[in-house]
Structure 1
């Protein structure tokens, strides 16, 4: 096997932290906490249940929520489906109006398209020139039948942040529910659900150095009577999501979120310094940073080159979001931002993370420079 490429695709998925792996292994095998957490009548089930509830507290602690408000799912995609479809069913399918945006992840956009087929009206807000959905745009889109607003906190391609505090107040005053996809935000920004007017929030473990296949949905007090389950068969998770709980994955997510809370401030400063170093190394090259003028997390960089180029296989990054990669089509986010198709196809996303080093940043900049100075392919 040849030399491993440099990994700059943390927004697609993060490697599982070795500390998280060790915790997960404790829940596997005959000597581990392998019992069914729904079986509380014997010691094995009780031990598993205790680990599950500890993990629920860890997830809740990161976002300052109550543990009972955290519902386990298979990932942010399922959480988004439960939030959107569950709210629509409670509102009676075929009636009502949802507000979202053209910047959302396909897990939201495809779900909204399915709801539209069933009669729900959807308004897709366009971003401003900096890639931001403004509170004023949300305010202007609300109407008497609006029962839900769904927006992401941190954009998965641009890293831009949505002002969910201001938008939440507007949505709450209107009487609608506010759903936030926070898959790209945990561990990167402070989230305080005790203060924010957010009713539903989706989380993913594998974007935060936890395992794939596990996520969670925050269900706040205003949403609890206005949400309908999508998976039935046993009434688990307070009736909102049936199915045997995957103890090892849940415990992994809990530990990953606990570490994210402990390391957030330190990691933010370190990754911001790496981002600054990378951009300094790229100065003078025909590149622009998309969404740079907006408030953003430092972890994600969307770079559009002024000419065609071909990058070395030594650099593992994304030319589009993970949800678009199979089609090789231009990113819908970049097109919504106003980029022409040809510009979108000349755009790459570099995302930095916990294990990115200065040497890797320097080498990545060198490879990008070589690609842009090489003859046009």
Structure 2
């Protein structure tokens, strides 16, 4: 009897590369030229980059000329979360206000002095405390940079980014939104949202790992203190020979994501809701994290009291199911989540939270297989409880 194929439900960590994207990467890898060279081979490489730039910019309603390719979302956020990020003709920010549930690339990767940084508290649903932020901006008396995720990687919670952006703009501040988890999954338009900068990453939408982008709302914005210095690549914003193949793959992934956005979101919501309902039916004491909040169509996080995440991940893995306990950016370790802490989730419950994140290859049979595995894992837990009673 042939073994079951493995079921991958960890798309928020990384998405499997789409076949069309892999083909694009292989094709671009065979281009011999350096994109900075003026000969025909160099111009061919440059054409690939600029074509991809148009596609990535289009995904988030931006202009290609304001799209800067990076090595990923982490570099994009590290780059922009700097006191030197400013509007031309104006001084940079002197203070950073950053959401308490942000990705570590923002919380730990910013370039502000420690005494110039404050974390914005969140509600139990994981939403930015708008009243706190409004009061803090009114008291600021200085130029402030605010940074908030569009969608949280662990819980899928969507922030009211447009409302936050309008608030920051009224107080003369700058606003960066980490759209790594959101772009390609829900509509994201930099102009409609009113944000000044977005961070993106290719591997969350079926593109290659190791490539991302910083998107600026206009050419009147810049980061004066370059993070990577050297040559004049990326119009001087980011030095280093461009990764042509990865950039080409990013462009193709962005193009596909935009083409399929509406139908894919609807498909994934249905699958997510079914998976979530099955978990609750199997374990009546299951807790769905931020269930009442608006979330990404592909994501839900849950905990079953008494079931520890580390034990559960191993059990599901042995069942052929790949899940996560949250972010995969911690060297593969299961550790206490700062996101859940900020939301006020009890430590006992937090240590058992699992994240299910679906994507382009997920099918209904995958959800059924996940539910069957969940039933076996929970059954073992309940038997242990009964024998201990």
Q: Name stretches of at least 5 consecutive residues in structure 1 with no aligned partner.
A: none
Question: What's the TM-score, normalizing by structure 1?
Answer: 0.92
Who is 1:252 aligned against?
A: 249
- Contact 1:86–1:229 (8 Å) recurs in 2: no
With 202-211 and 282-291 compared, the bigger mean Cα shift is at 282-291
Who is 1:126 aligned against?
A: 121
Who is 1:37 aligned against?
A: 35
Separation in 2 of the partners of 1:334 and 1:4? 32
- Contact 1:199–1:223 (8 Å) recurs in 2: no
5 Å-filtered alignment, 1:1-377, equals 4-29=5-30, 33-39=31-37, 41-85=38-82, 87=84, 96-112=94-110, 115-117=112-114, 120-142=115-137, 143-221=140-218, 224-225=221-222, 227-284=224-281, 285=283, 286-308=285-307, 310=312, 311-313=315-317, 314-324=320-330, 326-374=332-380, 375-376=383-384
Separation in 1 of the partners of 2:355 and 2:122? 19
Separation in 2 of the partners of 1:238 and 1:229? 12
Separation in 2 of the partners of 1:237 and 1:226? 13
- Contact 1:73–1:214 (8 Å) recurs in 2: yes
Residue 164 of structure 1 deviates from its aligned partner by: 1.0
Residue 345 of structure 1 deviates from its aligned partner by: 1.0
The C-alpha deviation readout for 1:271-328, integer Å capped at 9, x for no partner, is 0110121122223312111111111112111101122253332211111311235443
Question: What's the TM-score, normalizing by structure 2?
Answer: 0.89
Q: Name stretches of at least 5 consecutive residues in structure 2 with no aligned partner.
A: none
SS in structure 2 of the partner of residue 203 of structure 1:
strand
Residue 170 of structure 1 deviates from its aligned partner by: 1.1
With 216-225 and 43-52 compared, the bigger mean Cα shift is at 216-225
The C-alpha deviation readout for 1:86-123, integer Å capped at 9, x for no partner, is 63699989x821111110001011124x6334xx5111
Residue 367 of structure 1 deviates from its aligned partner by: 1.1
Residue 129 of structure 1 deviates from its aligned partner by: 1.4
Residue 220 of structure 1 deviates from its aligned partner by: 2.3
SS in structure 1 of the partner of residue 226 of structure 2:
coil
- Contact 2:86–2:222 (8 Å) recurs in 1: no
Q: RMSD value over aligned CA atoms?
A: 2.1
With 20-29 and 259-268 compared, the bigger mean Cα shift is at 20-29
Separation in 1 of the partners of 2:126 and 2:62? 29
- Contact 1:87–1:148 (8 Å) recurs in 2: no
- Contact 2:276–2:300 (8 Å) recurs in 1: no
Separation in 2 of the partners of 1:361 and 1:8? 9
With 1-10 and 240-249 compared, the bigger mean Cα shift is at 1-10
Separation in 1 of the partners of 2:208 and 2:146? 29
SS in structure 2 of the partner of residue 27 of structure 1:
helix
- Contact 1:102–1:336 (8 Å) recurs in 2: yes
Number of corresponding residues = 369
Separation in 1 of the partners of 2:200 and 2:113? 24
SS in structure 2 of the partner of residue 371 of structure 1:
helix
